[in-house]
């Protein structure tokens, strides 16, 4: 028996319609890669850089669905989960952290210094009564006679101790400022990208604190974006690398950098300070030092606002 051609067409359309109901075509939202990241105040600069980099790659790679995690996750837990390639609602896809030899054996970063190495330019919090004494320091050996305060789990402790500095530690930031105010040690050292809000906050709690205005320490130290060595992680690295390189080329990376750190650089006046350069023994030999456009140097950004 021959079936009417109209019946055959109707049957095929019915099957296709049913399949579309069961397996609807993917929308842009369905095709977008979900990216989890920590959305905390201290990562505000890095988040803006990340979003701008993803936008640069949208035409080539398609949309991204950003999923912020608004709670604090311990850094070691973030690192361990990324190394293990874990996934989950509270596992980030993009991590911001400094590099060192150990982590580069386990993960691959995007080797574009997010803060242009500014983290390694260190200025000091001191007691106001010691300003004159710090201004009199001309030699690194004289600075080493002073006791430096640092966080117990800060990677910088190894750097300072390697260069012969005496370091006293505490776990809590609040405790460090209280110890400095009470004379338990002589100074705290913070990156130029982080000192200003700390000074503004803690000088209200401890009015005898101030910034030393004549000295600084520098060592190579950078933060990168990191992703897992999974298929998704490699795709994210490709997208972010393309976007970051485009931002460096068109100047938008510099504009965001100045937006966040221009004021601090202007007030720090690094070009007018005596700077002691020390070695960072934990750095891998993979830093892109040959690309001078990626790095901060005194005088490059201070006059721009």
pTM: 0.80
Distance (Å, whole) CA 160 – CA 170: 15
Axis crossing angle, helix 231-250 with helix 252-268, rounded to the nearest 10? 70
d(CA 274, CA 216): 6
The radius of gyration computed from the CA coordinates of the chain, to the nearest angstrom, equals 25
Residues 6+ apart with CB under 8 A from 114: 45, 46, 49, 96, 222, 223, 224, 225
Is a pLDDT exceeding 80 seen at residue 188? Answer: yes
Give the pLDDT score at 235.
Answer: 95
Question: 118-219+262-305 maps to which CATH number?
Answer: 3.40.190.10
What's residue 302's pLDDT? Answer: 63
Interval 99-128: pLDDT, tens: 999 999 999 999 999 999 998 999 999 999
Residue-level pLDDT at 94: 96
Measure the CA–CA gap between 199 and 122, rounded to whole angstroms: 13
Tell me, what's the pLDDT at 193? 87
Pick the CATH number of 1-115+223-250 from 3.40.190.10, 3.30.530.20, 3.40.50.720, 3.60.150.10: 3.40.190.10
- CA atoms of 121 and 20, how far apart (whole Å): 59
The dihedral through the CA atoms of 246, 247, 248, 252 has a sign that is: positive
Query: How sure is the predictor about 6, in pLDDT bands with cuts at 50, 70 and 90?
Result: low
Q: Give the pLDDT confidence score for residue 5 in this predicted structure.
A: 54
What is the pLDDT at residue 16? 46
Provide the pLDDT confidence category of residue 241 given band limits of 50, 70 and 90.
very high
CA dihedral 167, 170, 171, 175 (to 10 degrees): -140
CA–CA separation, 212 vs 132, rounded Å?
9
- Give the Cα separation of 50 and 36 in Å (integer): 12
Quick one: what percent of the chain has pLDDT higher than 70?
Answer: 89
Q: Worst-scoring range by mean pLDDT, 90-99, 128-137, 232-241?
A: 90-99
Q: How is residue 283 written in tokens? A: 């750095």
Q: Which has more confidence, 142 or 303?
A: 142
> For 36-40, 75-79, 117-121, 180-184, which range has the lowest pLDDT when averaged over its residues?
75-79
Buried b (16+ CB within 10 A) or exposed e, 177-199: bebbbeeebbbbbbbbbbbbebb
Q: Could you tell me which residues are beta bridge partners of residue 68? A: 37
Q: Assess whether pLDDT exceeds 70 at residue 29.
A: no
Which 3 state secondary structure label does DSSP give 152? coil
C-alpha dihedral (43, 49, 55, 57), degrees to nearest 10: -120
Average of per-residue pLDDT across 266-291 = 94
The pLDDT score that the predictor gives to residue 299 is 74
298: nearest Cα among 144, 117, 69: 117
Please say if the pLDDT value at position 93 is more than 80.
yes
DSSP H or E segment with residue 34: strand 33-38
Q: What is the mean pLDDT of the chain?
A: 88
Paired strand residues for 33: 64
Q: Where in the chain is the domain with CATH 3.40.190.10?
A: 1-115+223-250, 118-219+262-305
Residue 198 has pLDDT above 80, yes or no: yes
């Amino acid at each position: 028996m021959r079936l009417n051609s109209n019946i055959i067409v109707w049957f095929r359309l019915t099957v296709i319609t049913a399949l579309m109901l069961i397996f609807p075509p993917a929308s842009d939202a369905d095709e977008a890669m979900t990216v989890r990241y920590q959305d905390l105040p201290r990562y505000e600069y890095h988040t803006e850089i990340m979003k701008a980099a993803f936008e640069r790659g949208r035409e080539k790679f398609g949309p991204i669905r950003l999923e912020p995690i608004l709670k604090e996750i311990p850094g070691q837990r973030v690192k361990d989960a990324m190394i293990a390639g874990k996934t989950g609602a509270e596992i980030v896809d993009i991590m911001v952290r400094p590099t060192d030899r150990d982590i580069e054996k386990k993960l691959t970063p995007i080797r574009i210094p997010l803060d242009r190495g500014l983290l390694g330019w260190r200025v000091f919090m001191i007691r106001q009564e010691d300003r004159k004494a710090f201004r009199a320091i001309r030699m690194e050996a004289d600075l080493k006679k002073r006791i430096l305060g640092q966080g117990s789990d800060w990677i910088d402790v190894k750097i300072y101790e390697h260069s012969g500095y005496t370091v006293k530690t505490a776990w809590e930031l609040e405790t460090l400022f209280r110890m400095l105010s009470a004379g338990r040690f002589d100074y705290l050292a913070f990156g130029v990208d982080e000192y200003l809000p700390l000074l503004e906050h803690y000088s209200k709690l401890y009015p005898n604190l101030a910034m030393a205005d004549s000295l600084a320490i520098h060592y190579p130290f950078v933060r990168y974006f990191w992703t897992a060595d999974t298929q998704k992680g490699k795709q994210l690295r490709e997208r972010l690398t393309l976007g970051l390189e485009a931002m460096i080329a068109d100047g938008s990376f510099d504009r965001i950098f100045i937006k966040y750190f221009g004021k601090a650089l202007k007030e720090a006046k690094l070009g007018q300070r005596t700077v002691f350069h020390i070695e960072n023994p934990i750095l891998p030999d993979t830093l892109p030092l040959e690309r001078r456009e990626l790095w901060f140097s005194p005088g490059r950004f201070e006059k721009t606002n």
